[in-house]
């Protein structure tokens, strides 16, 4: 029996099944249908499945741009760092039709269906961000066109769960823009705005790792929410660790900034006034790369066409019980009122969803 299949059977036992519903592998495996690509395995999932359709991703770099638009798809990696879902599209690069991908289209993995989960694998956008800083390869769109998303949780997603998953990118690594999601014991690597969006995402015991940007005084921003005003929770980090590449200087990374994305309205296109970002750090450890000021402003286009700044005080950006050399006390780093701390318990953040 092949050593790889022995490992697969062990994983199946661990996850409570005698076998997976599909296996992605270079060569056929016994006891479950085997597919040469992840896209083909996703195609085999029921269109309206009511129970988990489990796909084993064997070791390898699977270079595919993936869309999950069926419910209850569960991806399980054979090896956390060896089972890699990767693509390399940036926002400014052109799609097959000649138009740019844009931030909303460039992700390596896009989820548009409920009850998705991923465990024990890596999701990566392998775009050469640092190389592009030195020699841009395309016309910029938005700030620079170098936004390169690894995972996007898009409209239609809800109750997405991630455990022991590594997310690798630089600018805009993880785009949690819709629905509820839970990230446990994950690692997210990036530099500029690398965890962002308007969804309700809870991160527990995750490592938020800042990557070095050569020649940049402001090395990056961690959490960048555009939460709708009526939504009580946005990006919530509980007992996480904020770490850095060794080359990143002290005080050069912001906890984040609130984002007011441009949207089209009957009277024009301008920054969405309903985007009142919410991000909270609860009992997180922070290395010295975190700026003592905490949060930065972020520019947006106002209704009258002026370019204005959205201040951190005009959004919902807080922390509680921070520790480590980056945990400073300053007037610009607002503490979560003590009476509100209990509101950030998991069952309240996730609005009664109990992940299995």
What is the C-alpha separation between 149 and 90, in angstroms, rounded? 7
Residue 10, pLDDT score: 54
pLDDT greater than 50 at residue 309: yes
Which tokens sit at 196? 């962002």
Which tokens sit at 345? 């318990």
Q: Which residues pair with 269 in a beta bridge?
A: 264
Residue 13, pLDDT score: 52
Asked whether the beta carbons of 101 and 87 are under 8 A apart, the reply is no
Q: Which of 193, 272, 287, 291 is the catalytic position? A: 193
**Each residue's pLDDT tens digit, 70-96:** 999 999 999 999 999 999 999 999 999
Residue 211, pLDDT score: 98
pLDDT greater than 90 at residue 9: no
**Each residue's pLDDT tens digit, 98-127:** 999 999 999 999 999 999 999 999 999 999
Burial of 284 (0-12, 13-18, 19+ CB in 10 A): buried
Note the Cα 128 to chain centre separation in Å: 18
Count CB atoms within 10 A of the CB of residue 260: 24
Whether 172 is catalytic is yes
Which tokens sit at 273? 């006034």
Residue 196, pLDDT score: 98
Average pLDDT, the chain: 93
**Each residue's pLDDT tens digit, 203-245:** 999 999 999 999 999 999 999 999 999 999 999 999 999 999 9
Count of residues for the chain? Answer: 356
What is the C-alpha separation between 142 and 86, in angstroms, rounded? 24
Residue 157, pLDDT score: 97
pTM of the predicted protein model: 0.94
Residue 6, pLDDT score: 47
pLDDT greater than 90 at residue 19: no
Residue 30, pLDDT score: 87
Mean pLDDT of 156-160: 98
Q: Which fold has domain 191-351?
A: Pectate Lyase C-like (2.160.20)
**Each residue's pLDDT tens digit, 171-210:** 999 999 999 999 999 999 999 999 999 999 999 999 999 9
What is the C-alpha separation between 187 and 184, in angstroms, rounded? 9
pLDDT greater than 80 at residue 18: no
Residue 297, pLDDT score: 96
Q: 131, 20, 146: which is closest to 83 by C-alpha?
A: 20
User: How much of the chain exceeds pLDDT 70, in percent?
Assistant: 94
What is the C-alpha separation between 66 and 59, in angstroms, rounded? 17
What is the C-alpha separation between 102 and 220, in angstroms, rounded? 20
Map out the domains of the chain as residue ranges: 191-351
Determine which of 17-21, 135-139, 210-214, 284-288 has the lowest per-residue pLDDT on average. Answer: 17-21
How large is the C-alpha radius of gyration of the chain?
A: 20
Q: Which of 158, 172, 189, 296 is the catalytic position? A: 172
**Each residue's pLDDT tens digit, 42-55:** 999 999 988 999 99
Which segments within 187-252 are labelled E, that is strand?
Answer: 187-190, 195-197, 200-204, 207-210, 220-225, 235-238, 241-244
Mean pLDDT of 260-279: 96
């Amino acid at each position: 029996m092949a050593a790889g299949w022995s490992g697969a059977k062990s994983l199946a036992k661990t996850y409570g099944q005698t076998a997976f519903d599909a296996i992605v592998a270079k060569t056929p495996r016994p006891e479950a249908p085997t597919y040469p690509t992840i896209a083909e395995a996703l195609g085999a999932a029921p269109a309206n499945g009511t129970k988990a359709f489990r796909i084993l991703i064997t070791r390898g770099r699977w270079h595919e741009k993936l869309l999950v638009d069926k419910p209850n798809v569960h991806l399980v990696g054979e090896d956390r760092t060896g089972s890699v879902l990767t693509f390399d599209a940036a926002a400014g690069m052109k799609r097959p039709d000649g138009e740019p991908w844009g931030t909303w289209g460039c992700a390596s993995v896009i989820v548009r269906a409920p009850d998705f989960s991923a465990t024990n694998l890596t999701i990566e956008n392998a775009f050469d961000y640092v190389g592009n800083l030195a020699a841009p390869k395309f016309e910029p769109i938005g700030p620079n066109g170098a936004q390169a998303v690894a995972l996007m949780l898009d409209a239609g997603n809800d109750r997405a769960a991630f455990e022991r998953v590594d997310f690798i990118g630089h600018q805009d690594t993880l785009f949690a823009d819709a629905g509820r999601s839970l990230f446990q014991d994950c690692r997210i690597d990036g530099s500029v705005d690398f965890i962002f969006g308007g969804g309700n995402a809870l991160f527990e015991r995750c490592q938020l790792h800042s990557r070095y940007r050569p020649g940049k005084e402001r090395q990056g921003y961690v959490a960048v929410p555009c939460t709708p005003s009526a939504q009580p929770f946005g990006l919530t980090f509980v007992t996480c660790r904020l770490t850095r590449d060794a080359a990143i200087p002290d005080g050069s990374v912001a906890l984040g900034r609130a984002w007011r994305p441009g949207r089209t309205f009957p009277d024009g296109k301008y920054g969405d006034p309903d985007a009142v970002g919410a991000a909270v750090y609860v009992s997180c450890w922070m290395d010295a790369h975190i700026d003592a000021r905490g949060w930065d402003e972020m520019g947006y286009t106002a209704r009258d066409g002026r370019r204005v700044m959205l201040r951190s005080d005009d959004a919902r950006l807080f922390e509680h019980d921070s520790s480590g050399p980056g945990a400073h006390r300053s007037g610009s780093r607002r503490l979560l009122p003590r009476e509100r701390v209990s509101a950030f318990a998991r069952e309240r953040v996730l609005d009664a969803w109990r992940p299995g």
